[in-house]
Amino acid sequence: MKNKIIDLIAGQVTDITPEEIAALIEIPPKPELGDFAFPCFRLAKTMHKAPQAIAAEIKDGIGRVDFLDEIKCEGAYLNFFVNKEQFIASQVQSMLKDNYGSSAEGEGKTICIDYSSPNVAKNFHVGHLRTTIIGNALYKIYSKLGYHVERINHIGDWGTQFGKLIVAYKAWGSEEAVKKDGVAELMRLYVKFHEEAEKDENLINEGRAWFAKMEQGDPEALSIWQWFKDISLAEFMKTYKLLGIEFDHITGESFYRNMTDDVIARIEKAGLLTESDGAKIVNLDEYDMAPCLIVKNDGSSIYATRDLAAVFYRKENYNFTKCLYVTGQEQKLHFAQVFKVVELLGNDWAKDGLVHIPYGLVSLSGEKLSTRSGNIIYAEDILLEAISKIKEIIEEKNPGLPDKDEVARKVGVGAVLFNDLYNQRIKDVSFKWDKLLNFNGETGPYVQYTYARCASILRGLEGFTPSADIDYSVLTDDASVDLVKELSRFGKVVQDAAERYEPFMVARFAVAVAQVFNKFYDANRINVEDEKVKTARATLVYIVKTVIKDAMSLLGIECPEQM
């Protein structure tokens, strides 16, 4: 409709391009002012006439058009009143097409997303839950826009800490204990190492020596490390399974360990490497940043070195247009340094191509969450707790529901994800069971419940199939028009969410659709005698159901058919 209006205006005035017209067109704040408005101030300057006069001229020039009920001049504005029936028809027809809301903007382009990336021998905590959820949503959103996405899990599986862990395991650990308690035991050993190292400085050197052995490929060191890694990955996988999340590459820091020498040589050749207290760094004073540490004074590589190697590996192998890094905001400086070094090595693409996507903290204030030991909160436990709380609600309210466990998983996990994705990334996420599990608030369960309601309505209509060949005059009441207008935002919402790396825009949209739908449903009975009315309204219900399902799936949330 907007394009048609742009064409009409462009047909009347010459000294403005269709793109300029498009940028000027507004959606009026009140329905009395029409569906679209065009301000004439900009034309007044070049045409040397009063904007009111220009508005009147354009209106007269356009005359009567079938898809518009009316054009009104309001001061300097032209207000367009779209014919409701035609508007609804054109919208509904496009919504019934496959993959509504998608676009081809990303065709032929690749985006790498580096997310989740928990650390071996440490628990998968709530912070990692955030990067996992946000990264997965960005993957879905970019895919919807036609991009090819490489999902990369940059596990923290290399570094001096593993040398220390080997020392601790040999001194105070046992195979049985590690087998029995997994990551929790590895964490205990790591804490123990640091306690003991306070008394015995030599332990630090021993730890370094074991990491040096790892870097040199010593079989014993590597086999212990590999075992710790396998145990940790098996635990992480349980969390991924609950979330229904997969990766294309689980390539941790160790994957790049043989590529760091090459990176160091490149930096040296470019004349960027300088010595500082026995370590090697890239000085970034000129850019108001602390130096980027490349080689430690004990000769070992470091987090940043491996990240540099990873950038080049990904650029060469995936030829990305963008590589996104989803981590907490405390890593802001790290990524700024790494990106700067890539750029200084003569890679202009680093400027727009490498993007850090930070997010805020999780605050659990006042909430009781189950902890396994030492007050450490595992993401898996949060998810399991949400699932079990939902299971209780189901047992109480709908004990006869089929597939109760699967429904509880979808709704419990959905509630946690939705709560995380409902606000801007950078905002802290607060965790309140009552709020996030509420079936009536702005929550995952509320949207899922609305979806199940749509599904149930449609199940009750025998022989109904959605159709574009319906009587659109049935759908011109306010509640139906509001619903169609809301649904029509989907494509733009997905685009905006991708452009700003903000899944919350999709989450807000899902809630808005559910709310407007519930109003529509209060105002309109679906299962009525009149077949024409029934089919038209049910087609709208079908679209709502599809759009909610798709929007929720962009957030990584599944919608059960029955709740």
Nearest CB to ligand ARG, comparing residues 327 and 535? 327
Nearest CB to ligand ARG, comparing residues 357 and 417? 357
Give the Cα separation of 84 and 67 in Å (integer).
8
Cβ 426 to ligand ARG shortest distance, Å: 17
- Kindly list the residues in this chain that would bind ligand ARG in the complex (CB under 6 A): 114, 117, 119, 154, 156, 307, 310, 325, 327
Rounded to the nearest angstrom, the gap between the alpha carbon of residue 226 and the centroid of all alpha carbons in its chain is 31
Token pair, residue 440, equals: 């009536």
Q: How many Cα atoms occupy the beta-carbon half-sphere of 531 within 13 Å?
A: 6
Give the CA distances from residue 441 to residues 287, 449, 544, in Å, rounded to whole numbers and listed in that order.
46, 11, 19
Phi/psi of residue 468, each to 5°?
Answer: -85, -10
Cβ 48 to ligand ARG shortest distance, Å: 58
Q: What's the Rg (C-alpha) of the chain?
A: 29
Cβ 185 to ligand ARG shortest distance, Å: 20
Cβ–Cβ < 8 Å for 439, 446? yes
DSSP state of 290: P
Cβ 418 to ligand ARG shortest distance, Å: 24
Cβ 119 to ligand ARG shortest distance, Å: 5
Nearest CB to ligand ARG, comparing residues 50 and 426? 426
Q: Which residue is nearest to ligand ARG, using beta carbons?
A: 156
Q: What angle do CA 421, 426, 427 make, to 5 degrees?
A: 70
Nearest CB to ligand ARG, comparing residues 240 and 446? 240
Token pair, residue 168, equals: 């601790």
Nearest CB to ligand ARG, comparing residues 114 and 206? 114
Phi/psi of residue 538, each to 5°?
Answer: -65, -30
Cβ 154 to ligand ARG shortest distance, Å: 4
Cβ 539 to ligand ARG shortest distance, Å: 46
Cβ 334 to ligand ARG shortest distance, Å: 7
Beta carbons within 10 angstroms of residue 560's beta carbon:
20
Nearest CB to ligand ARG, comparing residues 127 and 207? 127
DSSP state string for 214-236? HHHT-HHHHHHHHHHHHHHHHHH
Cβ 299 to ligand ARG shortest distance, Å: 22
Residue type, 417: L
Cβ–Cβ < 8 Å for 520, 482? yes
Residue given tokens 């750029």 in the structure block: 343
Nearest CB to ligand ARG, comparing residues 91 and 117? 117
Nearest CB to ligand ARG, comparing residues 119 and 535? 119
Pairing of strands 429-430, 362-363: parallel
Pairing of strands 110-114, 322-328: parallel
Nearest CB to ligand ARG, comparing residues 264 and 354? 354
